[in-house]
Structure 1
């Protein structure tokens, strides 16, 4: 059995320049916010994701897709560049309390062996981390997920994202990101996808210190995501995170969010998003070469 490793989703430099298009209801909200007439049909999301995969995958070491809206079409149309690896989201989002993602569980509809046959090399699991919820439940879910991945010879990517507690209103995002890393940073996964400290804002020295604290807690390669970070600050965030020990990024919004709702989507992806992704990939290679 072929067993994939993180090298199979990396660039030749060993760094990661990975694109995410697995956003689901969050992407629908983005289209609505861009002024697209509601209700936003599923096909609008599917078309955007497939177009983004087609236009941008030549510049990514891997692309993360979701089963709900785009996986089938992306496989059917064979739009992913041959040099770009496929990652499949294996998380099922459960809405509640007025938000699209209130809980997450492993998506049992994802057949690890089948997606591997289709060309996937990794699975990704979102973990919502709340300080007042049972850490053992999270650790068990991650353990189950790792087993699914490794039994199939796939790379295991976890994505802890912090949320305010269920009870009370005290929420220290920065402390929570560190606490989540303490809990999950040595859980047996292959790659840790993490939120950028301080939303990528502020002085470089402060960001570097925060990222170094994070690095101390994660006992596996790690990459940053771009949600919550201003697209204009994301390239700097990648440099700083990699200075602290990160190995690149797995990001979507910083690459393509600005073209949502614009006319001529294919053209906008080519003119705006592709150069942005190329630039980020160059940064990753430069930072890896300097090590």
Structure 2
């Protein structure tokens, strides 16, 4: 199990709140954000990176200051967030390394992609507190993971050489021909297996999907031991995500890295609409998540 260095621990503190729990606003999506801003594929394709950058700036301005850290991409959001003074001096900045979408192998395996030219040194140059990499894993199918684990090994080594914090995220997926029922039945084991693979590679902070139940959350915590893990929202509705956060925090999670569950129905090509809904809808949602985190962090300290 890899322990954080002093510099990595300092970076980790900066993506956490005063209570020591992660509460990161994720808006590093590009393709997914375009689909939320426009229903028609042609209209989606017409949405430029500048429009996405302004949308991410609004999410940062109205949500990240309330949370303590924002996760953005280096394609649309940076260096503008920093250079134009839109990021508060006390707000942590995680920079996503993964490119939008994935490639597919002849066997139907998902192949992760990275944004060209973005490594640990560039993350530091952009003002990042740390980086985030996302890879696809099918822990029950070793041959599906070879290329993606090679990417993960390379990125972990790069960030270790720069002594810079790296958050490792993985997603799992259904294989060609796998029924939704079969995939759902395998999902908890796929999450546990993915956690093992990431820990074996040297991950020091994890961002993972909700594992499926409180019991599996506890298993994740036992596997991670001293490695903190955050649950991601995966675009579920807010009410569902609250129950997931409750279960995760009650069973050892170290916080939340949340995106679409907070803001997916708040963003618009009309920035005045975005601003209004972020303030009136997304911020109250954030407060509800923070209340759950605070309650469990308090209970942990008392215990």
TM-score when normalising by structure 1: 0.86
* Counterpart selection for 1:91 from 89, 95, 98: 98
The CA distance in 2 between the partners of 1:36 and 1:138, in whole Å, is 31
Q: Which residue of 2 aligns with 1:4?
A: 8
Displacement of 1:49 in angstroms is 0.8
Residue deviations 1:8-64 (CA, integer Å, cap 9, x gap): 211111111111000111111222249995544123322211111111111122110
Aligned: 1:254 with 2:258: no
2:54 corresponds in structure 1 to 47
* Post-superposition CA distance 1:207-234 (Å, at most 9, x none): 2112122223334110000014321121
Quick check: 1:179 aligned with 2:193? yes
1:27 aligns with 2:33: yes
| 5+ residue gaps, structure 2 | 1-5
Distance 1:166 1:37 in 2: 30
Q: CA-atom RMSD, angstroms?
A: 2.6
Per-residue deviation at 1:134? 4.1
Aligned to 1:194: 208
Aligned partners of 2:197 and 2:208: how far apart in 1? Answer: 13
Cα distance in 2 between the residues matched to 1:192 and 1:240: 17
Deviation at 1:188, TM superposition (A): 1.6
> How many pairs were matched up?
280
Deviation of 1:197 (Å): 2.5
Name the SS of the counterpart of 2:265 in structure 1: helix
Residue by residue over 1:238-268, the C-alpha shift from the partner in whole angstroms, topping out at 9 and shown as x without a partner, is: 1210111101110101111121338521121
Q: Please show how residues 65-214 of structure 1 align to structure 2 within 5 Å.
A: 65-96=72-103, 102-130=110-138, 131-132=140-141, 133-166=143-176, 169=179, 170-171=182-183, 172-198=186-212, 207-214=213-220
Instruction: Select 2:222's aligned residue among 216, 223, 230.
Output: 216
Could you tell me which of 269, 291, 295 is aligned with 1:286? 295
Q: What's the CA shift for 1:283?
A: 2.2
Judging changes above 3 Å, is the alpha-carbon distance between structure 1 residues 209 and 251 closer, same or farther for their aligned structure 2 residues?
same
Does the 8 A contact of 2:137 with 2:173 survive in 1?
yes
Which segments of 5 or more consecutive residues in structure 1 lack a partner in the other structure?
199-206
1:14 aligned to 2:20? yes
Query: Is the partner of 1:127 in helix, strand or coil?
Result: strand
Q: Which residue of 2 aligns with 1:274?
A: 283
Paired with 2:154 and 2:261, the residues of 1 have a C-alpha distance of 31
Which structure has greater strand proportion?
A: 1
Distance 1:278 1:262, change over 3 A: farther
Residue equivalent to 1:201:
none
Whole-angstrom CA distance in 2 between matches of 1:217 and 1:81: 35
